[in-house]
């Protein structure tokens, strides 16, 4: 570790650009408060930091007391990715459901109410929305986090989300630039590659980001993915061609003309860390044009934060990072902090008393029923068979989803069996046969409600569903992921997401008891 004085302007700038995650719910670590008091500009909050809205408000109050301009950031996309409601599931449907409803006024209202909840808890930056155009059915990490697969639809809803969020006094951060939709690799685990040409990128991936920049989004988050048409060697987060040459470049020169704050995606993600390390990757990201280093996959401690600070200082002293670029990045963090402090004083009022109604209305409007106008014909309480895929790190396994709890409220006696993804080398047909036997044994003569999530991506799941519907043609199927597969079953519901309110909207139709 280099000898860096906390009062040294270079060291202070290096500390300012760091946005670490931490452990703590009731009390922020003393070291974290001390660093915030001495120049660090922000933190990232995750599900491990949240117990309740009241608890989070107290925790964030400590952070903002240490630094009133702190960038207290969180991934609150709604839908499948929620931190405020990590334990129960979101009161708001996610982007894919909002895109299915396709009412920008509704998207703006949902984002505004979400923003008011965040602001009331002391959150100042939301790492949302995902402006990715989800045009690859095999995408393992975006899916329902995207508004859809049409660039213009994604653009108009991205703008509406940004407007609603920032009207509530919370800075929006559109992600994952320049677009993570056309990937079949999760950048948490490896480096994705998008092999499209520049013309395709301009008319597809970049359309929502251009619209968001024009609408005044305060932040953009970079993606850890390789686009050889822009840079054959470095992922976007580390590429001057992507961040400076495209995102920052003037519109007249083919760029997006963005002058706000650029966050990196999590620097501990394998797409960067496996090759460059967190220290090396962070230096390269700042040099490329990023302003704030997100380090959020795991909780950090003081030694790790100061070590990364000193790695940035050492890079300047060794000529690998210019002092001017580091200072520019730190100033952008401070400027955003000043905006968030002012926005808290002028944003929309406290959350609405009928906040739950806003989210539920959106979930109901996103629901699709096949055949149109069909209704379930239940013989009493059903049996719910939940076919559970693995979750990616962004979504997390701790947030509940599904239908059983919502149906049980309306139809007491509803039962559930859970059927997890098999080992990678398992025979899908054998897995399907075993699952169907278990489901039919548990269901008896009751109607089966099969709940799936992105069935097109999993052979074991599609085989199980096909065999189940063949054995029991009266099966009700509820797809809670991206609906690329054709509808099946006597009644097929598509929720466009697995938020709690999406489950409630589907349960209302199945039970015939809206409201």
Residues 114/127, Cβ–Cβ less than 8 Å: no
Residue of 96, 157, 180, 188 with catalytic role: 188
Question: How many Å apart are CA 295 and CA 317, to the nearest integer?
Answer: 23
Q: Return the DSSP state at 236.
A: G
**Helices and strands per DSSP (H, E), number in the chain:** 17, 14
Question: Residue 15 corresponds to which tokens in the numbers above?
Answer: 């500390």
Query: DSSP letters of 17-40?
Result: TEEE----SSS--HHHHHHHHTT-
Which residue matches tokens 């008393």? 353
Q: Do the bridges between strand 368-370 and strand 491-494 make them parallel or antiparallel, or are there none, so unpaired?
A: antiparallel
Strands of the sheet containing 125-126, edge to edge, are 42-45, 71-74, 125-126, 171-177, 219-222, 261-263
Q: Verify whether residue 291 is a known catalytic residue.
A: no
Question: How many Å apart are CA 132 and CA 149, to the nearest integer?
Answer: 9
Q: Which helix (H) or strand (E) holds 42?
A: strand 42-45
Question: How many Å apart are CA 231 and CA 181, to the nearest integer?
Answer: 18
CA nearest to 441, candidates 410, 482, 411, 472:
472
Residues paired with residue 251 on neighbouring β-strands, in sequence order: none
Residues paired with residue 261 on neighbouring β-strands, in sequence order: 219
Residues 118/168, Cβ–Cβ less than 8 Å: yes
Residue of 13, 132, 265, 291 with catalytic role: 265
Residues 63/34, Cβ–Cβ less than 8 Å: no
Q: Verify whether residue 265 is a known catalytic residue.
A: yes
Question: Residue 378 corresponds to which tokens in the numbers above?
Answer: 């239940």
Residues 415/441, Cβ–Cβ less than 8 Å: no
Strands of the sheet containing 448-452, edge to edge, are 368-370, 491-494, 476-479, 448-452, 383-388, 415-420
Question: How many Å apart are CA 443 and CA 448, to the nearest integer?
Answer: 7
Q: How far is CA 460 from CA 387, 430, 444, 451, in A?
A: 9, 9, 23, 14
Task: Kindly list the catalytic residues.
Answer: 188, 265
């Amino acid at each position: 570790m280099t000898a860096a004085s906390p009062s040294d302007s270079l060291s202070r700038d290096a500390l300012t650009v760091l946005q670490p995650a931490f452990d703590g719910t009731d009390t922020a670590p003393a070291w974290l408060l001390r660093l915030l008091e001495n120049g660090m500009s922000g933190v990232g909050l995750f599900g491990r930091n949240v117990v309740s809205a009241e608890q989070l408000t107290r925790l964030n109050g400590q952070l903002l007391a240490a630094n009133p301009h702190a960038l207290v950031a969180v991934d609150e996309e709604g839908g499948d990715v929620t931190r405020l409601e990590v334990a129960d599931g979101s009161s708001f449907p996610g982007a894919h459901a909002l895109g299915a409803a396709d009412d920008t006024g509704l998207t703006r209202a949902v984002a505004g109410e979400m923003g008011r909840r965040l602001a009331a808890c002391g959150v100042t930056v939301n790492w949302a929305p995902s402006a990715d155009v989800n045009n690859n059915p095999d995408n393992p990490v975006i899916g329902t986090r995207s508004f859809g697969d049409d660039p213009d639809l994604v653009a108009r809803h991205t703008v509406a989300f940004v407007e609603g969020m920032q009207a509530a006094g919370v800075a929006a951060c559109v992600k994952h630039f320049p677009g993570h939709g056309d990937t079949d690799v999760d950048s948490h685990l490896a480096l994705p590659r998008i092999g499209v040409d520049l013309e395709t990128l301009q008319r597809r991936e970049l359309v929502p980001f251009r619209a968001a920049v024009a609408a005044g989004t305060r932040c953009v988050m970079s993606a850890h993915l390789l686009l050889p048409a822009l840079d054959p060697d470095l992922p976007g987060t580390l590429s001057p061609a992507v961040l400076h040459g495209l995102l920052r470049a003037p519109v007249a020169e083919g760029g997006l003309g963005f002058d706000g704050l650029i966050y990196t995606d999590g620097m501990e993600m394998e797409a960067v860390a496996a090759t460059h390390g967190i220290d090396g990757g962070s230096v390269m990201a700042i040099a490329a044009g990023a302003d704030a280093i997100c380090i959020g996959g795991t909780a950090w401690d003081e030694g790790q934060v100061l070590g990364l600070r000193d790695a940035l200082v050492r890079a300047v002293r060794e000529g690998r990072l210019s002092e001017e670029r580091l200072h520019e990045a730190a100033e952008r963090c401070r400027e955003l902090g000043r905006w968030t402090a002012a926005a808290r004083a002028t944003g929309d009022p406290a959350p609405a008393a009928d906040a739950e109604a806003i989210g539920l209305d959106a979930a109901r409007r996103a629901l699709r029923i096949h055949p149109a106008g069909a209704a379930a014909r239940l013989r009493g309480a059903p049996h719910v068979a939940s076919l559970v895929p693995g979750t990616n790190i962004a979504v997390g396994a701790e947030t509940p989803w599904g239908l059983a709890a919502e149906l049980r409220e309306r139809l007491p006696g509803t039962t559930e069996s859970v059927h997890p993804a098999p080992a990678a080398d398992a025979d899908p047909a054998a897995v399907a046969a075993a699952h169907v036997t278990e489901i039919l044994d548990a269901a008896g003569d009751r109607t089966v409600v099969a709940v799936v999530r992105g069935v097109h991506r999993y052979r074991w799941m599609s085989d199980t569903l096909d065999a189940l519907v063949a054995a029991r043609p009266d099966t009700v199927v509820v797809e809670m992921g991206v609906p690329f597969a054709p509808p099946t079953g006597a009644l097929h519901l598509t929720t466009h997401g697995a938020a709690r309110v999406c489950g409630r909207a589907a349960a209302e139709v199945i039970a015939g008891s809206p409201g």
